[in-house]
Amino acid sequence: MCGRFSNRMSWREIHALYSIHDQENVVPNDYEARYNIAPTDRVAACRIADGVREIVRLRWGLIPYWAKDAKIGFSTFNAVGETVAEKPMFRDAFKARRCLIPASGFYEWKKLDPAGKKKQPYAIVPAKEDDAFSFAGLWERWKDKASGETIESCTIITTTPNEVCAPIHNRMPVILPKETWAHWLGEEPADRSQLLALLKPSDAALMRAYPVGAAVGNVKNQGPQLMEPVAA
């Protein structure tokens, strides 16, 4: 599962990450670096529009176009990589609406007792301090028939954990290396089997994990201090 992550990058830095150089100065008024992103928050994402990459902001928690209401998005912030191509909730988006979600790191909680009553939060970040993760995501556009409001939303795909994440949690987000981005976004051809092959644990050498304070458990808490290491 991936239920919390951070993105401390500026709007310009996100555009540079995805080699987009003609939109970076149009910064949304309410965009800011966030260190404790939770489901239903708006997140930055890279997708293809009219054949070119663009950065948009999507509500985290995918609302399929056929949903009766937006409440379904509270439980669809993750999609299981092993079933994402078949599940009605995600299969249409998997075929045609894939995206990349930039992150500076993500959080998972390690169980300290069999019952799971005691947990230690961990931050999992790139091995190199200035690097960033790109999560494999899907996006959808949903229109509320009652109000006429249109909501664009997304989900983060998860997979089995690598050696860094396995001692902490039994799932991790799919992190796509740069050489796969064009295939995932649809800029270069890739069939279903090739896309599914991308949904695998990332190289453990490219990340590190360390314990952080309990404050990250409250979605109201923000700031770089949330990512500071603490004694386990």
Q: Tell me if residue 99 is catalytic.
A: no
**Among 143, 159, 139, CA closest to 151:** 143
Q: How far apart are CA 138 and CA 79, in angstroms?
A: 9
Among the listed residues 2, 46, 99, 154, the single catalytic one is 2
Secondary structure string (H, E, C) spanning the chain:
CCCCEEECCCHHHHHHHCCCCCCCCCCCCCCCCEEEECCCCEEEEEEEECCEEEEEEEEECCCCCCCCCHHHHHHCCEEECCCCCCCCCCHHHHHHCEEEEEECEEEEEEECCCCCCCEEEEEEEECCCCCCEEEEEEEEEEECCCCCCEEEEEEEEEECCCCCCCCCCCCEECECCHHHHHHHHCCCCCCHHHHHHCCCCCCHHHEEEEEECHHHHCCCCCCHHHHCECCC
Q: Tell me if residue 2 is catalytic.
A: yes
One-letter amino acid at 212 equals V
β-pairing, 78-80 vs 150-159, is parallel
Among the listed residues 13, 54, 82, 108, the single catalytic one is 108
Residues annotated as catalytic are 2, 108
